[in-house]
Structure 1
Amino acid sequence: MKFELLGWPPSGPTLGLDFRTFSYAGKFVMTTTGKAVIRGDTEIEGAAKAEADAEDLPDGVDPSAFEDDVLAAVAFNEDRTDPGTLWLRYVTVHADHRGRGLGPRLLGFVARRAEIRGYERCRIAVNNPFAYEAAYRAGFAYTGRRTGIAELVLERPGSADPGTYENGLRQFLDRELSVAEREFLDRKFDSEPPETIDPPP
């Protein structure tokens, strides 16, 4: 696997992701956001382009425009009112590679690069317990704030206090959750925050 920062906002590159295997694929064609990816060996990792079936695509969609070796991607932009803050906006992992810790590792990779670039903090807003846990594994912590669309705001650097972690988890209790999300929350209450995954240097 190779971690790669493709560009910083406001003039980031476009990235063609197959919408059948990546959530938020359309968000990565915007040029106003920075982007970073994890790439893998297509022969070993089995990414989508070589296997894409043109019959599954709408008319006019060219499968050769898709990046065939991307395993995970994140798009990010600078806060409009605080130039010391970088927001990680869209995180996506190829459907065949979810559950391997790629999302947290990529978040940590970008956060570390942002620190080197001079940003004082990175923030991310999440709307489900799985994304919340992934952000914690990348070294982010709940701030006690929400966005206007009720996403929880996490920040790095942040508090490592177990009470802060559990307080964030409790914010999901009044939401309509899937069975898997509810079971996940039940397992996480009264536990320590997850260990942070070290991103690559």
Structure 2
Amino acid sequence: MEYELLGWPEDGPTLRLDHEQFAYAGKFVMSSTGKAVCRDESVIGAAAFDPDRTDPGTLCIRYVTVRTDRQGAGIGAQLLAFVRERAIDRGFDRVTIGVNNPFSYQAAYRAGFCFTGTEQGLGELELEWPGDRCVDGYQAGLDLFRERDLSEAEVAFLSEKAGSDPPELVDR
């Protein structure tokens, strides 16, 4: 697999994704965000990001999507780590992402992000890098998901993670 930065927001990159294979596919057509992808023979994951409107030292990852047939293979976590590394190289000292499900939460933790204790938008938990990878913070985010109406897979996942340490970081 290969990770590639398609461009920063000022470069105006766009990306067409199949809406049947990728969540948020329509968000990647916009040219107002930077884009990064993971590909093998074709795109299998994508991220869109831009600087925080109120803090120029913070990069916000707005959307991450992995092709449905490749979910669960660690691609999202590796793509998040890739974007985080590019942000640091570009001079950002903080990177944030809002996640709305426990699988994305876990992927963000594997990429080095940590729960801030804040909920934002439509039920998104805010995670940041750098952050405190303590067990209590990790479990606090999982507990918020446990209060929601979830799929059987999400309930099983959360049950499996009860009391556990944050996951190990992905190797990039």
**Which TM-score applies when normalising by structure 2?**
0.97
Cross-structure match for 1:112: 85
CA distance in 2, matches of 1:22, 1:169: 25
RMSD: 0.9
Structure 2, unpaired ranges of 5+: none
Match for 2:120 among 127, 147, 156? 147
Q: For residue 160 of structure 1, give the secondary structure of its aligned residue in structure 2.
A: coil
The residue that corresponds to 1:133 in the other structure is 106
Q: Deviations over 1:21-50 (max 9, x none)?
A: 111110000000000001112xxxxxxxxx
Q: What is residue 8 of structure 2 aligned with on the other side? A: 8
SS of 1:74's equivalent? strand
Once the two structures are TM-superposed, the CA of residue 11 in structure 1 deviates from its matched residue by 3.5
Distance 2:12 2:76 in 1: 20
- The one-letter amino acid paired with 1:172 is F
| Structure 1 residue 150, shift from structure 2 partner | 2.3
Return closer, same or farther for 1:198/1:12 CA change in 2, 3 Å cut-off. farther
Q: How does 1:115-194 map to 2 (within 5 A)?
A: 115-194=88-167
Report the AA paired with residue 28 of structure 2. F
Residue pair 1:10, 1:77 contacting (<8 A) in 2 also:
no
Change (3 A) 1:40 1:12: same
Instruction: Give the secondary structure class of the aligned counterpart of 1:172.
Output: helix
Look up the SS of the partner of 2:18 in the other structure: coil
Deviation at 1:176, TM superposition (A): 0.7
Q: Does the CA-based 8 Å contact 1:39-1:72 persist in structure 2?
A: yes
Alignment partners' CA distance in 2, 1:10 and 1:169: 36
| Residue identity matched to 2:7 | G
- Structure 1 or 2: larger strand share? 2
State the aligned residue count: 172
Shift of 1:9: 1.4
- Per-residue CA shift, 1:91-139, capped at 9, x if unaligned? 1111221111000000000001101100011000011111110100000
What CA deviation, in whole Å up to 9, does each residue of 1:144-171 have, x standing for no partner?
0111322100001111111110111111
Query: Percent identity among equivalent residues?
Result: 56
Q: Extract unaligned runs of 5+ from structure 1.
A: 42-68
User: Which one has a bigger Cα radius of gyration?
Assistant: 1
Quote the Cα distance in structure 2 between the aligned partners of 1:5 and 1:148: 27
Q: TM-score, normalised by structure 1?
A: 0.83
